[in-house]
Structure formats: structure tokens, C-alpha cells
Amino acid sequence: MNHLIRWGAVALVVGSLAACAQPVREDEDPAEREAREAAELEAEREAEREAEREARALEDDRRLDAAALDDPDSPLADRLVYFDFDRDEVKEEYEAMLEAHAEYLEANPGARLRLEGHTDERGTREYNLGLGERRGQAVRRVLNLNGASDDQIEVISYGEEMPVAFEQNEDAWAQNRRVELVYDRRE
């Protein structure tokens, strides 16, 4: 409800700005108007060129990001952290991998990472939403301690709603108790 109200307010403000973008100037003479319109056109073109430059820079960034993230031999290729039943401690075996991700995030301040927390199907659904979030936050803490900035990371819990293994045995459950590291590739 709050969001609806907020977006309603934004729409209202944008609407009123648009209405005053073209003030009527009845007292303007033709030469003045020509000069003003030329200046406006030049400003518009400059804005377009600037946008193009930014887009190119972003494209370069993305290529750089993609190269490091897509290297199958890099520790960055590992994006899964598994947990024990009803636990949220990050096990030692994931330290090196998470350090690599933290370094990457520190070196690429524009990079954004989503930590998606999951649980197995045992226990109640709503409680598991809480548990999935705790796991995501535990991974976030490790990344923060190793240099990643807090505003690069978002934690989302899916609880038990998005299993990857559908059988009902310990093997399947172990695969489902996980945090997935998902980079925002701006695609």
C-alpha cells in the first residue's frame, strides 16, 4: 500500500514537471527564438553524446566483468554454498571461494550480487523463509569481512519454495540447503 502511494506521488510530480517544460513566451522576437532553439538543440545533442559515451564505458565494464565471472577455472565460477540441516554457519570449505568473490566485488564497485537463500522441505514454510534469509546473511557477512561493500549485496530468501532436487532423501535435501550467488549482469 505504501508503495502504491509513493509511486502515485512520483507520477504526480513527474506529470507536473512535464507540464512546465515548455513555457509560453509571447514577448520573444524571432531572432532570439532562433538562437534559443539552436542552443537547446546543441544541448540535446551533447546529452546524447554523453549518454553514448556512458553506454560504451558500461559495455567495456561488462565485458571485463563477464570475462572474470565466466572463466570456468576461476574460483568465481563456484557460486553455491551448502549448509547443514537447520543451520546457517558457513563451513570452512567455502572460505577461499567467498574470499575470491569478495575481492571481485571490491575491485568492481559497480558489480551487484544477489544472495538467494534456500532450505530443504523439512519444517514449516514460513519458518524456512527465515532460515533461508539467515543463510544468505551469513554468506553476506563473510563477503563483507573480506572487503565487499554492503550496498553491493542483496539477500533474498526463497525458503523451501525453489528446490533443485525433488526427491525426498538426504541427498536431495543436502542439495537444496544452499545459498546461490547470482550476479546482476545488467542484461
CA distances from 59 to 48, 143, 167, 185, 186 (A): 16, 26, 42, 11, 10
Cβ neighbours for 76, distance < 8 A, ≥ 6 positions apart:
68, 69, 100, 101, 104
Q: State the cell numbers at 123.
A: 519444517
Task: From 37-45, 55-63, 90-98, 119-127, give the range in contact with other proteins by CB under 8 A.
Answer: 119-127
Cβ neighbours for 74, distance < 8 A, ≥ 6 positions apart:
68, 100
List the interface residues with other proteins, window 137-156 (CB under 8 A). Answer: 155-156
Task: From 26-34, 102-110, 115-123, 173-181, give the range in contact with other proteins by CB under 8 A.
Answer: 115-123
- Give least dist CB 125 to other proteins, A: 6
Q: Is 180 in the site for other proteins (CB under 8 A)?
A: no
Q: State the cell numbers at 46.
A: 551533447
Among 37, 60, 167, 170, contact with other proteins (rule: CB under 8 A): 167
Among 61, 78, 99, 123, contact with other proteins (rule: CB under 8 A): 123
Q: Which is nearer to other proteins, 1 or 18 (CB)?
A: 1
Q: Is 69 in the site for other proteins (CB under 8 A)?
A: no
Q: Is 125 in the site for other proteins (CB under 8 A)?
A: yes
Q: Is 60 in the site for other proteins (CB under 8 A)?
A: no
In a 13 Å sphere around the CA of 69, the CA atoms on its Cβ side amount to 21
Q: How far is CA 171 from the centre of its chain?
A: 31
Q: Is 112 in the site for other proteins (CB under 8 A)?
A: no
Among 81, 118, 133, 140, contact with other proteins (rule: CB under 8 A): 133
Q: C-alpha dihedral over 148, 149, 152, 154, to 10 degrees?
A: 90
The closest of 186, 115, 178, 176 to 144, measured between CA atoms, is 115
Residues that bind other proteins (CB under 8 A): 1-5, 86, 121-127, 129-131, 133-134, 155-159, 161-162, 166-168
